[in-house]
Amino acid sequence: MNVIILGASGQVGTALMRKFDEHSIFFQAFDIKPNLPRVHRLDITDVFALERVITESDALFVINCAALNDMQYVEEHAKEAIEVNTLACENIAKLCVRTDKVLIQLSTDQVFDGERKAGYTERDNPNPINHFGVTKHKAEQKIMQVGGNAIILRTGMIFSEHGNNLLSNVLTLAKDNKTLYFSELHYFNPTHNVDCARVIVAMLDQINCQADVPLWGIYHYGGSDQTNFLEFSKAIINGSKKYDSIITEQVIASNPTVAQLTHIKYANLNCTKLLHTFGIKQLPWRRGLQRTLNTIYES
């Protein structure tokens, strides 16, 4: 198996590289910020550079993890977000069709409007209310229009030991604040980056075996047991106290901050289709959280 990873320096990209090493899978890794060993620089909005990378590789799979996903930044830089999150994805899809490659495109729970308390299925109509969701939904539409062998994997909010995510933000705040305030009105499926990589590798294995079932289309994955910002933050603080001299004594509910309001209210994903098609089960996010905290404090 031979794989191209785009956005390899990000949370899911780094977890994929580790997984591929564990499974002895050959990969070529690219990112606009190549700050890790074996990652080469590539700006996916550079059409000619992108074309060269994809057309000159004999890889069967292209996994696009690259995105502008800081939601406040995306709101303030709409044109750049369209270029990275939408137009580049369309170009990648076209190049995959041209070179007969399989595309795995990461997407997001933010393509929905957040009004549905029950988990969103792949059959529910997207209706994004923030610009990040708009750019990702447009990318989904472009990829489906291009056709070819493509899978779009919508995930819950990713957390890991590095990068800018809710976990790292909570740990930073906990060093200087006795009380933290988070919304209890916003629900989601926290998704460990290693768990997301596990899912992708399992999908690749089955596609590579040429299973005789229609696999292409949209799938959902997030950690099992939905929670809200408040409870997730409490779990982070409780899990960190045995390792660190954080000063936070309590995490209490408050009105949502501007950043929290950008996130849709109910971002719960129903992952039944992934289970029925690929046999991939959800894992609890609490297991991933403890593993991440162990990595942060014991490494």
The tens digit of pLDDT for each residue in 83-111 reads 999 999 999 999 999 999 999 999 999 99
When mean pLDDT is compared over 95-99, 210-214, 241-245, 250-254, the highest value belongs to: 95-99
Integer Cα distance of 88 and 81 in angstroms: 10
Q: Tokens 């270029």 map to which residue?
A: 83
Average pLDDT over residues 112-116: 95
The greatest distance separating any two alpha carbons of the chain, rounded to the nearest whole angstrom, comes to 56
Sign of CA dihedral 93, 97, 98, 100: positive
pLDDT of the residue at 256: 66
Side-chain-facing half-sphere of 281: CA atoms under 13 Å = 2
- Report pTM: 0.95
pLDDT value at 170 more than 60: yes
Relative to beta strand 187-188, strand 266-267 is parallel
Instruction: Tell me the pLDDT tens digit for each residue of 48-89.
Output: 999 999 999 999 999 999 999 999 999 999 999 999 999 999
Could you please state the CATH topology (level 3) that the domain comprising 2-164+190-224+268-283 is classified under. Answer: Rossmann fold (3.40.50)
Whether residue 173 contacts residue 257, with contact meaning beta carbons closer than 8 Å, is answered with: no
Number of other residues whose CB lies within 10 A of the CB of residue 171: 19
Q: Per-residue pLDDT for 143 more than 70?
A: yes
Rounded Cα gap, residues 256 and 88, in angstroms = 33
Query: For residues 199, 202, 206 and 208, what is the CA-based torsion angle, rounded to 10 degrees?
Result: 110
Structure tokens, 145: 């229009």
Q: Where are the domains of the chain?
A: 2-164+190-224+268-283
